[in-house]
Amino acid sequence: MAKLYSECPQKKDNLNPKKETIDFLLNYSKALSVIECSDLKFETLQN
């Protein structure tokens, strides 16, 4: 178990997301609506 924590993590230079992933996240954030009522928060997807 000690070996797992002592190893250095490998660097990953290829962290470019796909275009589909970016589009999905942008569309999701556009459709998300947060309504605050008193101390409660309601999250709704408007699709």
pLDDT tens digits for range 7-34: 666 666 778 899 999 999 999 889 999 9
Domain borders along the chain are 19-47
Q: Which residues make Cβ contacts (< 8 Å) with residue 6, sequence separation at least 6? A: none
Query: In a 3-state reduction of DSSP, which class is residue 17?
Result: coil
Best CA proximity match to 45, nearest among 30, 21, 36: 30
CA 38 to chain centroid, in Å, comes to 27
Report the predicted TM-score, pTM, of the whole model to 2 decimal places: 0.51
Q: What's the confidence (pLDDT) of residue 19?
A: 95
Q: What's the confidence (pLDDT) of residue 3?
A: 60
CA 41 to chain centroid, in Å, comes to 19
